Amino acid sequence: MASKIKKIGLLTAGGDCPGLNAVIRAATRAALNNGIEVIGYKFGYKGLYLNDFEELTKARVSGIQHLGGTILYSSNKDNLFEYDVEIDGKTVMKDVSDVAIKNMKKENVDALIIIGGDGTLTSARDFARKGVKVIGVPKTIDNDLAVTDVTFGFNSAINVARDALDRLHTTAESHHRIMILEVMGRNAGWIALHSGIAGSADVILIPEIPYDIKKIAARIKEREKRGKLFSIIAVAEGAIPVGGDVVVSKIVKDSPDPIRLGGIGNVLAIQLEDLIQKHEVRATILGHLQRGGSPSTFDRILATRYGVKAIELLLDKRYGNMVTINGDSMSYEHLENIIGRPKNVNPEGELVKTARSIGITFGD
């Protein structure tokens, strides 16, 4: 008979995201209400490796639901299966996952709840393969994880982007300008698509639909003929021109994901000014504003449901799974079935068709 879970560890890894604290709060309270002790490892997997943690009590998680970021801090550079360690004065990559497991045993931690995106959950799967009792909770503002309808943080992000588009409208119309808003979305255009529709964008550019700059210019000129002397463009950072490639802002060598995108908004602005000439084109890069700040009402509730469901899965001994939501039902899927399965916008899907039906162009 399997032993009862008496103590668990929580960690948050990858980029920060509105709603992380709401998950921590919900999971901690649900665990404590079931007689389970809780500790939180700091800075993601790094805390697990260094055995750096704090006790999570009801008092510690009180009043954190509305806070952005994560009280446990985060890191997106610490993969314990390929960790930088110094040996004989040289930095080498080494699998130090056994150190983390020893630390868990030392503190009598029976199971882990790991909150993160694809990279974080890949390590969660690898720990599960080594016999660690793991439950994953999906986190990404990009909403690009397979098997779950929506991830917490996405709603907060699109609200920020939509608000930015609303504000850009006023100056665009006042000065007869073309205003470009660059949002996050490396491989999936969900943020640009949702915020673009809600924010009355005239053009939406996403990674899934390569664009032709001349067709964008043609749409702007067509609007001008109808008396619309301004236009709004929402573009995902990973959008690409037909036959072209993404715009890279920099390379971060010590990161597991070294290529950082950014700057496509400025590139588009230069290209469109050359093609249109009659109007000024200005670009705004929203950047990390999308990831910061207080979570929306929707995300607070969704994150709470994710946290509670994670504890339910532990109590039911459903180890090695990730919490999901499909429709209005909380469920789960095995970690083995979700890694490397991104959820992209369907170019022929209902939402894209809806946007096209109201006159939004995707530059194709």
Which domains are present in the chain? 7-152+295-327 (3.40.50.450), 157-291+346-357 (3.40.50.460)
Distance (Å, whole) CA 271 – CA 252: 27
Q: What is the pLDDT of residue 361?
A: 96
Euclidean distance between CA atoms 221 and 266, whole angstroms: 20
Q: Is 75 left (phi over 0), alpha (psi -120 to 50) or beta?
A: beta
Strand partners for 235: 182, 205
Query: How confident is the model over 274-315, as pLDDT tens digits?
Result: 898 777 899 999 998 999 999 999 999 999 999 999 999 999
Q: pLDDT (tens digit, 9 = 90+) per residue, 48-81? A: 999 999 999 999 999 999 999 999 999 888 899 9
Q: Are the beta carbons of 185 and 207 closer than 8 angstroms?
A: yes
Dist CA 115 CA 80 (whole Å): 16
pLDDT digits (tens, 9 = 90+) for 140-198: 999 998 899 999 999 999 999 999 999 999 999 888 889 999 999 999 999 999 999 99
Q: With pLDDT > 90 as the criterion, what percentage of the chain qualifies?
A: 79
**Partners of 161 in beta bridges:** none
**Residue type at 109 in one-letter notation:** V
Q: Which residue has the higher pLDDT, 351 or 118?
A: 351
How far is CA 276 from each of CA 171, 172, 224, 247, rounded to the nearest angstrom? 19, 15, 11, 22
Catalytic member of 142, 144, 202, 299: 142
pLDDT band at 332 (very low <50, low <70, confident <90, very high): very high
**Beta strand extents in 139-292 (DSSP E only):** 178-183, 203-205, 231-236, 248-251, 259-261, 281-285
Q: Is 142 a catalytic residue?
A: yes
Q: What is residue 42's three-state secondary structure?
A: coil
